[in-house]
Amino acid sequence: MEQDLELLQFPDERLRKVSKPVERFDAGLTALAESMLRVMYESKGIGLAAPQINHPTRMIVIDISEDRNSPLVFVNPKLTSFKGNVESNEGCLSVPEIRTIVKRHKTISLLAQNLDGSKINIEAGDLLSICIQHEIDHLDGKLFIDYIPSIKLQRLRKQIAKQKKLSNNQAPQGTTVSIV
């Protein structure tokens, strides 16, 4: 991974910054999107927001296709409407090995731009809707664990600290913590 594309991990405070809208649609933006897709694929994720690699820019990339060959790039994404509710068992590349249930909108309407600045307006449901909502949260400095009640979040923080301590002591990998 490129040095300036470090995948930030909770509790890094840079994950809490609200991202700035993209105003310049140029080769640098395209290069950032390509780098984000590479990081997402290498990390085996289905979505990534620019703040997760320390670029507080309002851009997300997603690929929920089975063959991992249908990347989506949304610049300045904004939900314009939503319907229904669904519970989603979510994880995050910035909070590794943690999964929890999050309530999301079942279907959404999204207004965004593509890499040349053209407007995109889509309707999304199912996994795409959930993924878009998760990644937009990153743009607003919010993590999926923020949906956890405070008492469970305190336990989660302790478990994360314990996992980090164990991994620093070269403990075997693979512990999964699930807070529901």
Q: Is 135 a catalytic residue?
A: yes
Please say whether the dihedral angle defined by the alpha carbons of residues 10, 37, 126 and 116, taken in this order, is positive or negative: positive
> Domain spans of the chain?
3-148
pTM of the model: 0.85
As averages over each run of 10 residues, the pLDDT of the chain (180 residues) reads 73 96 97 97 97 97 96 98 96 89 96 98 97 98 87 73 70 37
The pLDDT value recorded for residue 1 is 39
Q: Topology of domain 3-148, per CATH?
A: Peptide Deformylase (3.90.45)
The pLDDT value recorded for residue 179 is 36
CB 95 within 8 A of CB 75: no
- Active-site residue, selected from the candidate residues 6, 66, 90, 135: 135
The pLDDT value recorded for residue 175 is 34
| Beta-bridge mates of residue 49 | 60
Distance between CA atoms of residues 173 and 32, nearest Å: 31
Rg (CA), the chain: 16
